[in-house]
Structures are given as C-alpha cells and as structure tokens.
Amino acid sequence: MAQREPGDRSTGGPSGTGGRTRGARTTGGAASARRSGARPADAPRTAAERRAARARAVADSGAPETLVLGDVPVLARVAGVALALAGLVGAAATLPTYLVVGGRELSLATGPSDVLVALVAPLVAVAVGVGLALGRVPRFGLAYTAVAGSLAVGRLLIELHQGSASTSRAGTEVLAGDLVVTSSVETAAGWTLGVVALGLTVLAGVVALAAWGRTVMEDAGTLDPLRPVLAGSAVLLGVGAVLCLALPAADVPDRLVTDPTTGLVTVVSAEGPRALLERPGLALLGGLLLAGALLLSAVVAPSLRPRLGAVGGLLAVAVAVLAAGLAGWRDALHSDALDWTVPGIGLLVVGLLALGLTALAWRWRPAPVRPGDEDPAERFVPR
C-alpha cells in the first residue's frame, strides 16, 4: 500500500496544506470581493437607503441633527441682500400715502392694527434676508427667497394694474381697507415703494434659484419619513388657499328691504369688490400667476432638501397666505361698509395651519427604533 507523506493535501488534516489552501482561497475570495466593490448583504444599496440608515442612526443616538455646510456662493449672499432690501422698502411703504382715489388719500397704516398687519411679510423678509446674506443656513434662506419671489410676480402685476390701469374699467375696489370707486387714481410714494419692494423680491427670487444648485447643505435625512405627509397636507392647504383667494376676503353685505305696503322683504345686493379672477387686464394675469405659483410652491416646498430647505419653502407659503388673511380681517375691521367673509376667515385659518405645518417640519424627529423591533421602512424590502 502506498504510504502518504506527512502534509499530503489528501489528508485534509490540520497539519496538511489543505486547510491552509482552503483558508487562502477564502481570503482571496474576500479580497477579490473587496476589489470588485461587492457589499455585504445588509449594507444600504441606494442613496435613499443610505439616507434612511443615517436617519435611523441619528434617531437611535438621540443626538441633535448635524448639518454639512459648504462654502456659501456669492449669488446666495446677493439674494439675501436683495430680499432684506425688499423687506426694508416694503416696511417703509406702509407710512406714506398709498394712492389718491377720487381726491381721497389712502394709506396702508392708519392705526396700530394696520401697522402690524402690513409689517408681517416685510419683517420676515428682513430677518431671512439678513441671515442669508451672512451665510447662515443658506438653503433655508434660498428656499424662502425663491418661493417669495415666485409669489411676488402676480402681486406685482396686480399692483401695477391698481396704480395705472384700474381707471380704464372703473369699479368698486377695496384699497388700503377702504371701499372706493376707481374713477380716478393717482399714485403716491407708498405705491411706488411697494412696487419697488415687489420688484426686489422678484429679483431676489431669480438670484436664489440660480444659487440653489451651487449651495452645499445636507443633513442626515431625518425628515424623509414625514415628507409624504407634508406633501399631501401642503397640497390640500394650497388648494384651500387658492379657493379662498378667488373670492373677496371682505365684501359689502346684502341689505334686506321691506315693502311698506305689502310687507314683502326683498334682498338687495350691493356692488362690492371684484374677485381675484374677475378683474381685467394685468390684474387678471396677476391673479392667475399668483394662484398658480401658490399651488406649485405648496407642492414643491416639502420635497426640498435638507430639512431646513423644506421649512423655508413652507414658511414663505405660510407668510403669504397669513398676510392675505390678515389683510382681509383689517379691511373688514377698518370699514363699516364691509363684512369679513367666509373665504377671508378660511384664508386666515389656512395661513395658521400652514404655519403649524412649517413648525412640524422644523421640529419633527423620528422615534428611535428599539432593539428587536422591525423597522417599518424595511417591511416591504425583499429579503
């Protein structure tokens, strides 16, 4: 019988080379797997899975979310400066005479409540613009500026119509809280400053859109599980805001007239302000652009990255809707001939709900996953 030499490969014992050969092959396979870029079975394979893994890690650790910030481009700072200037000019526009209608001077601020309502949007614009100009959380400021600029386009066209073309088809309007007939309209310093503020806001929005792709700002993606809920809620609020804007926020109430001979009560409708989409020329175009931009911004804002980008976009929508709702409340409070309508109340409610949605996007954190619990995001992942 043939004798086997010690260390023969056929023995497969610990003293033979078979064990070493198998070990070498295993090591070589792992090395080749590393060289070929293969990943372990439980490693995240896509960008969405990697963001979800980072979000779970942040939630499990309980540590505050960190931001990755790059160099702030010059365009972003320019957009911040333009937005801050727009806010300052808009705040200054509340003090002088706004328009002279039929020889009657109108002003945006005739009392403390008027001043507070008129300063809501300008003060927020100044705060966000200064922060963006200083390079603080740039995508938050860029998102706010871009959305505010898109909404300002329609408002600018409406202002141009009120100051220049509203006499071509005279009608009843509510201007600066007063019910007037636009038979003759002369512009004043307040109107000019308001138009300049809106123009600067549009310019800032254009610059912000150009600077968005050049700005590096990222987080761990902890808001990603909530984004579908935010998107659906924002769309509903946007549709509600557009429906409320389509009708006057303050209107002339109907009168009940009783016939003295028959005792029959008749409802007499008085001519009130025209709705947003019933105005002619530039005002109609501005109303359509405002409604479209508001709905589009409500759809896009929740998808902006990082978290503070979505917060900035939602905040711009909330401030615009809330300012419009407060303006309707101011008009009804300022004039005895006007009543606060259901669309006006709805506009204020939608603005408050939009602010709540913005706060939810800012403060929400996913619940930490306890050991042994199945992650809901992995229920539909194929094993």
Band of residue 166 on the pLDDT scale cut at 50, 70, 90 = low
> Tell me, what's the pLDDT at 7?
44
* Domain residue spans of the chain: 66-255+275-363
* Range list of β-strands (E), the chain: 68-69, 97-101, 104-107, 172-175, 178-181, 185-187, 217-218, 250-251, 255-258, 265-268, 339-340
> Tell me, what's the pLDDT at 17?
42
- Measured CA to CA in angstroms, residue 46 lies from 56, 60, 223 at distances of 15, 21, 18
Examine the pLDDT at 34 and tell me if it is beyond 50.
no
Cα 262 from Cα 278, distance rounded (Å): 37
Structure tokens given for 149:
């600029």
Overall average pLDDT of the 259-276 stretch: 69
The one-letter code for the residue type at 154 is G
23-32 residue pLDDT tens: 444 444 444 4
Distance from the Cα of residue 325 to its chain's centroid? 17
Cα 361 from Cα 349, distance rounded (Å): 18
133-161 residue pLDDT tens: 999 999 999 999 999 999 999 999 988 88
DSSP-based three-state secondary structure for 271:
coil
Q: What DSSP element (H or E) covers 273?
A: none
Overall average pLDDT of the 7-24 stretch: 41
Cα 240 from Cα 160, distance rounded (Å): 26
Q: What is the mean pLDDT of the chain?
A: 79
122 in Cβ contact with 197 (< 8 Å) = yes
Could you identify the residue written with the tokens 């309502």?
Answer: 117
Cα 182 from Cα 165, distance rounded (Å): 10
Residue 260 or 332, more confident: 332
Cα 100 from Cα 102, distance rounded (Å): 7
Q: Which phi and psi angles does 68 have, rounded to 5°? A: -100, 115
Of 102-106, 123-127, 282-286, 341-345, which range is least confident? 102-106
Kindly calculate the radius of gyration of the chain based on its CA atoms and give it in whole angstroms.
Answer: 31
Tell me how many helices (H) and strands (E) the chain has.
11, 11
Burial of 6 (0-12, 13-18, 19+ CB in 10 A): exposed
Structure tokens given for 286:
């501005």
311 in Cβ contact with 182 (< 8 Å) = no
> Tell me, what's the pLDDT at 255?
67
223 in Cβ contact with 310 (< 8 Å) = yes
Residue 266 or 97, more confident: 97
64-81 residue pLDDT tens: 567 788 889 999 999 999
Q: Which phi and psi angles does 119 have, rounded to 5°? A: -95, 0
Overall average pLDDT of the 6-22 stretch: 41
Cα 175 from Cα 162, distance rounded (Å): 9
> Tell me, what's the pLDDT at 176?
67
Cα 21 from Cα 77, distance rounded (Å): 64
CA triplet 293, 175, 345: central angle to 5 degrees?
Answer: 60
Overall average pLDDT of the 15-37 stretch: 42
39-70 residue pLDDT tens: 444 445 555 455 545 544 544 444 456 778 88
Distance from the Cα of residue 361 to its chain's centroid? 11
Overall average pLDDT of the 184-200 stretch: 91
78 in Cβ contact with 207 (< 8 Å) = yes
Please list the alpha-helical segments (H only) found in 104-223: 112-118, 120-133, 138-160, 189-212
Cα 106 from Cα 176, distance rounded (Å): 6
Cα 136 from Cα 132, distance rounded (Å): 6
> Tell me, what's the pLDDT at 272?
63
Distance from the Cα of residue 262 to its chain's centroid? 57
